[in-house]
Amino acid sequence: MLDSISVGGPPVISTKHGCDPYGRGLDDLRRSGMILVDKPQGPSSHQLAAWARDILKLNRLGHGGTLDPFATGALTLLLGNATRLTEFVLSSDKTYIAVLRIDRSVDLRKLVSVLDSLKGEVYNVPPKESAVKIRVRTRLISDIALIESEAESGSHAISVTCQAGTYIRTLARDIGLLLGCECKLEELHRDSTGVFGQRNLCTMHQLRDASLLAEQGDDSAMKKLIAPVEAFLNGKQGVWVRDSAIASVCHGAPLAVPGVFKLNTGIKSGDKVVLWSAKGEAIGIGEMSIGGDEVSGKTSGEVLRPKVVLMDKGTYPGSWTGRT
């Protein structure tokens, strides 16, 4: 958990406006929520998002983090206002389970040594199969480990935790080069994306069934499948906004010192931070105009400018007087 410091006096919290984000109704979740789908092998990420859009009867539904058609696993679907977080979902770290096929017998100790050598920053060029323009770039491999090996078939399962945008197919090729033999990616499963993992996954069949139940008046299953955006943003650097300042932020106005009552330590000028209400609602994403350590020593002046607004205008009134 990140440390935080208080600024000014304690907040006055309205009982008439806003709500606990984890107590929202289905309509609110559909307007700004996330679903983690277990993508099967075959369809593209765009096809899956289109099917979900039809199932949920939504105009705005996107996905964060493309998986190739042959890959399976965690694909984040963004509903309504949550599509504004696409950039942040795309930039989240990912964990994969990959099955490699090596064309000859290898010493497992050497394979483990090669995997260890790939931890850290590596060059990662898009493979020929990718639609991305080929250019040299670096990506961070936080962890890579051997899970299981089958000597007879030459198949080896590895886990990889990496920076967003890492091409596992390219990583497999590099493993082969370091071993002095051919290594191909045979299977790929995305195990987690950001804070979402296997326990959050649902299948397209489950999504369809939950949608049908909701149409019949039972929305309990659907509410379990849709996570509020706050579930994804929890744990990121944040600034907490007084109720009286929320409306102006929702209209794109800069946040000034009097509107802040708490912020995480270690925040620097230029950092992107989550804007939180006193009830734990995500108002949006802002870019710091000054360092966090400067805020507590000021009584006025600009703290940040909103870059992404998630909360609907009118959730908190602009003329709010502080009465609860």
Average pLDDT over residues 130-137: 57
CATH T-level assignment (fold) for domain 94-193: Pseudouridine synthase (3.30.2350)
Lowest mean pLDDT among 76-85, 126-135, 165-174: 126-135
Query: What residues have CB less than 8 Å from 155, skipping those under 6 apart?
Result: 99, 100, 101, 149, 186
Q: What is the pLDDT of residue 197?
A: 86
DSSP string, 21-71: GGG--HHHHHHEEEEEEEEPSSS-HHHHHHHHHHHHT-S-EEEES---TT-
Q: Which of 3, 54, 68, 209 is catalytic?
A: 68
Q: Is pLDDT above 50 for 131? A: no
pLDDT in tens, 147-163: 999 988 899 999 999 99
Which of these, 191, 183, 189, lies nearest to 100 by C-alpha position?
183
Q: Is pLDDT above 50 for 45? A: yes
User: Strands 238-241, 272-276: parallel, antiparallel or unpaired by DSSP?
Assistant: parallel
Q: How many other C-beta atoms can be found within 10 angstroms of the C-beta atom of residue 147? A: 11
Q: Which CATH architecture describes the domain 4-22+232-309?
A: Roll (2.30)
Q: What is the pLDDT of residue 129?
A: 52
Q: How confident is the model at residue 134 (pLDDT cuts 50, 70, 90)?
A: low
**What are the residue boundaries of the structural domains of the chain, listed by start?**
4-22+232-309, 94-193
124 or 248: whose pLDDT is higher?
Answer: 248
Rounded distance between C-alpha atoms, residue 309 and residue 99, angstroms: 40
Average pLDDT over residues 102-124: 93
Query: What residues have CB less than 8 Å from 81, skipping those under 6 apart?
Result: 31, 32, 229, 310, 312
68 is catalytic: yes
Q: How confident is the model at residue 319 (pLDDT cuts 50, 70, 90)?
A: low
Rounded distance between C-alpha atoms, residue 245 and residue 238, angstroms: 16
What backbone phi and psi angles, to 5 degrees, belong to 306?
A: -65, 135
Q: How confident is the model at residue 65 (pLDDT cuts 50, 70, 90)?
A: confident
Give the CA-trace dihedral at 160, 161, 164, 170, to 10 degrees.
-20
DSSP string, 54-122: HHHT-S-EEEES---TT-EEEEEEEEEGGGGGHHHHHTS-EEEEEEEEESS---HHHHHHHHHHT-EEE
Q: What is the pLDDT of residue 322?
A: 47
The percent of residues above 90 in pLDDT, for the chain, comes to 82
pLDDT in tens, 186-244: 999 999 998 888 888 999 999 999 999 999 999 999 999 999 999 999 989 999 999 99
